Amino acid sequence: MATRFRFRLESLLKLRRSLEEAAQRALARALADLDQVRGRLAQLHQARNGAVEARRTPLGQRVDLDLWRAVERYLVALERRIAEAGAQVKAAEARVAAAREALVRAHRAHLMLIRLKERRQEQHNLEELRLEARELDEIAVLRYRLGPSVPGPAAREGNP
């Protein structure tokens, strides 16, 4: 009778699968954070461009120095925020790279166990096939030694 294949490391395989799924979720969160930070940086750049445009005065009009100073102070603050947002983008990109690397490692570990399970299953199937062939050979030898139990037409032809 054939025995059922049982992979002894099945619980470890489930753990590795869950770790891979956790790494996928972590990568998704890191990518969402990166998109959010990039969006904030784009908003800051847009605000800076708007402030630069607000500084312009039409031809023939007087320049409002108070407004000019206020816009310059705002631009200085925006440049500082843009620099901070740029640093946040770099940090978010580093987190995304680390999350991708963690996902690759988790995926490799999971695949390694899947391949091991497949090899073990192939070995088990081959061993079962060999065992079945051996049992069939033993049955054939026993039938030959015992001879036909009921003389049939083939047995009568052999003994005239």
What pLDDT score does 150 carry? Answer: 59
Going from the C-alpha of 51 to that of each of 84, 95, 107, 151, the distances in angstroms are: 19, 32, 48, 109
Residue 129: which residues within 8 A CB-CB, separation 6 or more? none
What pLDDT score does 76 carry? Answer: 95
Residue 43 lies in a domain: yes
What pLDDT score does 144 carry? Answer: 86
Buried b (16+ CB within 10 A) or exposed e, 71-96: beeebeebeebbeebeebeeebeebb
What pLDDT score does 95 carry? Answer: 97
Count up the domains in the chain and report the number: 1
Residue 155 lies in a domain: no
What pLDDT score does 143 carry? Answer: 86
Residue 160 lies in a domain: no
Separation between Cα atoms, residue 18 and residue 20, nearest integer Å: 5
What pLDDT score does 151 carry? Answer: 60
What pLDDT score does 1 carry? Answer: 59
Residue 159 lies in a domain: no
What pLDDT score does 142 carry? Answer: 87
Q: Which domain holds residue 35?
A: 10-147
* pLDDT < 70: residue spans in the chain: 1, 148-160
